[in-house]
Amino acid sequence: MSQQLINVATKGKWVEGMKTNVQARDFAFIVDEPEALGGTDQGANPVEYVLAALSGCTSVVIALIAKELDFKYEDATFENEGTLDLRGLNGVEGVSPHFQTVTFDVTIVTDESEERLDELKSKVEKRCPVYNLLKDAGIALESNWVKKATVSA
């Protein structure tokens, strides 16, 4: 199969301090740091956006693969937590500035079997671009998927 490449792009403009205005297509958002880290706390910081991207990307890939598998679900929620070693950001030799670990919790409301949920999880983790970006960076990823039964009417 030949390559099927797409390009994605963003633009950014530094505002002041640690605040940057970013645009992706027709969507604008602020990247900033909390006041405790020298920012103005007017937006999420870059690594928080990475965790948000993990949730969003996983959600999109779940929808795509669920359709392929005829997997029925009513809801999906995500909770992520990452650990950084600030020594890397501060320039300490041999310490990576990116996430050391990421815990990724997915809760799916479905009546599908655990086996079908495991199949969905496996395919999503294989095909999600953001999940694989983190994995390929050597980050210790802990992925926990939990099934909740649907509410009967």
79 beta partners = 105
Please give the pLDDT value at position 1: 81
Please give the pLDDT value at position 152: 61
Please give the pLDDT value at position 105: 97
Please give the pLDDT value at position 42: 97
Q: Which residues of the chain have pLDDT under 50?
A: 153
For residue range 72-87, what is the model confidence (pLDDT) as tens digits?
999 999 999 999 999 9
Please give the pLDDT value at position 153: 47
For residue range 101-114, what is the model confidence (pLDDT) as tens digits?
999 999 999 999 99
CA-nearest of 125, 129, 47 to 81 is 47
CA-nearest of 149, 139, 69 to 104 is 139
